[in-house]
Each structure stands twice: as structure tokens, then as C-alpha cells.
Amino acid sequence: MSTLLTLDDLNSWQASGKAPTDPAPRLAVIGDPVAHSLSPAMHQPALDKAGINARYVKLHVPASVDSFESLFAQLRALGFIGVNVTVPHKATALAAADVADDAATAMGAANTILFADDGKTYAFNTDGIGMAEAIRDAFRIDLRDLRITIVGAGGGAGRAAAVKCALDQCERLVLINRTVSKIQELEEQLRPHFTDDKLHGATERLCAVGLDEPGRLAEELEETDLIINATSVGMKPGEGSPLPAQMILPHHLVFDMIYAPPKTPLLRAAEGNGARIANGSDMLLHQGAAAFAIWFGQDPDIHVMRQALRDASKA
């Protein structure tokens, strides 16, 4: 059975009264696009190592699907335990859940869904945990010790990153978005986390800047330690960088949430300018491990997951 499935596949299984076995699909990552996802390559070895008889698959759900209540009901009926959710469906998944954890609620997005035995659908967001752990792995530093700029703060991934940075009390946070009006609400939501005198006061510790303000953007980046790219720019062939290369400085740490390709135009430019870089593969690893624990109430063998992810990245 292919690991890439469609809604037509689900409908066919439901019409026939049974899904494939040996083992049966019980977990999935849903998104659009989703064919590039390395989640099955990472999760399947962890399931096998834990002796769990389940297959993890990719499920292409078009962006035009704007309600997930019926999809979740269908997945539950087919025996799915849960799903991971990627762009552009994280907010839609949250809206369709019966119960959401604090992280998903604060971030306005869910990346992990559990179809629980009590008949309810539970939404979680492990993106923030995954990002923080990945940054610690790559740069040996915690979010609380950094002045951070998030590019694409208006999207689901950017919002998740911003909330995590605020909750971890980073030294300073700059929210960057193409349209500033889209992040003003987020800025106000996070402001209570930046009201002490850790640096020089609330106004200077948190701000929002538009990509169409190059002078202001360059000034803010000069005072930044860590740049986080939360946009999808650089994922598709031929795309450029979300930031002008000349704005990336040697002292910067640059973390791109994209993991395929492993080195985006942003990371290549940053590396060429002498900055330290990391892609999103370890973020995928750590958020995936947290999702596994939610589904099964036990931690996976993260070493098995890491090796599988590295092998798949090289394939």
C-alpha cells in the first residue's frame, strides 16, 4: 500500500466496509502539499520498535476543504488513532476538535489530533516544544536567552513560534510579516509577557514590522540573535529567500522551519554570510516524539526516529 493517500481512498475503504491491513493505517499526516512529508519515515520505525501494529501514512487533503468535522468522523470510523496536521489545515483542525490544550488554544492552531476512546476529538500543538528543542540541539542555547525575530509571524507556524518564545520569556521578540495588520492582534496578545524590565521596557522588547519596511527591518535584524523563518518561502524549486541576503549577519543564528529541501535559499545565504544555520528536521523530530506520547501514553525511541529521519533526508 502506498503511504500517500487521498480522500478518495478513504471513501473507497468506507464504502467497502474495511481498510487495508498488514498493518492497517491508524495514523496520518494531513496537509496540502503533503507528498514531501518525512513523518511516515520517522514514525513507522518508532511504531515498529514499540511493537505497535499500525501504519503511519500521508493523507492529501486539499486546501479547499474548510471543515474537518466529517473528515475526523470518517477517520475515527476507519480506526484511526490520530493525525498530525500541517499547512494549511492547522486552524481548521483546531476548530473541529471537541477539546484543545492550552498551547493549541493560545497558538490558534493544532498540529496533533487524538481520537480518544471517550468519543471526543482532542487537539494539541507540539510545534512550540519541537522548535525549542530543535534550537537547543542545534545552537546549545535556550529561547529565553535570545533576541528573536520571526519571519512570517502571521501564519500558523509563525504564531506557534511567537507564542512559545513569549511563554519562554525570550529577551526580545520582533514579529515580521508581509502585512503588519495581520500580526497586530498577536502582538497585543503577547504584550503581557514583555512588561518587565528584562531589557529596557515593554515597548522595546516586543514589536511588529512589515517586510515592506526595509530600513526598519535591517535595524531590527542588527539587534537580533536568532532569526526564525516560519514561512514556506524556499520550499518550492525556484523560490528565493524571505529575507534579503545582505540583512543576514555573521552573528546570526538562522533557523528555517522548512526541512525539505534541507538547505533553503535562506540557509544558503546565511551560511555564505558566516551565520550558523539549522533546518526544521529536528523540529519535526521533537514535535513528532511529543505527538507519539500523546497518542500512546509512552515516549518513543527518539534515537530510532532521529536515525530514520536522517536516512530519509538523504534518500
Whether 127 has a binding-site annotation, put simply, is: yes
Q: Is 56 among the annotated ligand-binding positions?
A: no
Looking at residue 129, its amino acid is I
Binding residue per annotation — 306?
no
299 is in an annotated binding site: no
User: Does residue 232 have a known ligand-binding role?
Assistant: no
C-alpha–C-alpha distance, residues 36 and 32, integer Å:
10
Is 86 known to sit in a ligand binding site? yes
177 labelled binding-site residue: yes
DSSP secondary structure code for residue 76 in this structure:
H
- Say if residue 313 carries a ligand binding annotation: no
* 179 annotated as ligand-binding: yes
70 marked as part of a ligand binding site: no
Cell of 13: 475503504
Annotated ligand binding at 12? The verdict is no
Distance in angstroms (rounded) separating the CA atoms of residues 53 and 100: 27
CA 260 to CA 262: how far, in whole Å? 5
**90 part of the active site:** yes
Residue 64, annotated ligand binder? no
Instruction: In whole angstroms, give the CA distance from residue 19 to residue 24.
Output: 7
Of 227, 174, 182, nearest in space to 205 by CA: 174
List 18, 49, 90, 164, catalytic entry: 90
Is 84 labelled as part of a ligand binding site? Answer: no
CB burial string 108-133: b at 16+ within 10 A, e below: bbbbbbbbeeeeebbbbbbbbbbbbb
Find cell 498540529 and name the residue: 111
Using alpha carbons, list the distances in angstroms from residue 163 to 169, 197, 300.
10, 19, 26
Is 257 annotated for ligand binding?
yes
Contact 56, 44 (CB under 8 A): yes
- For residue 2, give the 3-state DSSP assignment: coil
Any known ligand binding at 53?
no
Residue 205: CB atoms within 10 Å: 22
Residue 257 · residue 280 · CB < 8 Å: yes
Residue 102 annotated as binding? yes
Q: Which residues contact 36 (CB under 8 A, 6 or more apart)?
A: 235, 260
The conformation of residue 50, written as its DSSP 8-state character, comes to T
Annotated binding site for shikimate: 37-39, 86, 111, 127, 259, 287
Q: Could you give the residue numbers annotated as active site?
A: 90
Annotated binding site: 37-39, 86, 102, 111, 127, 177-182, 257, 259, 280, 287
Annotated binding site for NADP(+): 102, 177-182, 257, 280
